[in-house]
Amino acid sequence: MQPTIQKMCGITGILQRQPDIESLAKNIDRMRDALVHRGPDDCDSWVDHDHGHVALGHRRLAVLDLSPLGAQPMHSVDERYVLVFNGEIYNFRCLREMLRAQGHTFRGGSDTEVVLAAFVEWGIPAAL
């Protein structure tokens, strides 16, 4: 019997001491593209152009929100947080309704967007 191979998104990140936006952009894209087998549906990267120390990359395997609104790296509505995420928040629909009651709006239907709204509403430690 063959084992079932679970596919999942691929995430990459760089944190470097010396600011260098050019090397961040080049290296995060190389890292992200090396994970094409992890997420054939889409890919993107984000580089912190303000400080040049952090970059995030994502290879997408679309599962929950198949639309472009579920693409990552994803920004919170207030633009404070940027997230690449690989996992599943099982109660995200319940959390979404709680956050809607607090005034949050959602563009798509992904659990990643709910995580970002939770960070904004409750802060990272409490949201986690």
Catalytic site positions: 9
- φ/ψ bin of 123: left (φ > 0), alpha (ψ from -120 to 50), beta (otherwise): left
Rounded distance between C-alpha atoms, residue 17 and residue 7, angstroms: 33
- φ/ψ bin of 125: left (φ > 0), alpha (ψ from -120 to 50), beta (otherwise): alpha
Rounded distance between C-alpha atoms, residue 117 and residue 76, angstroms: 7
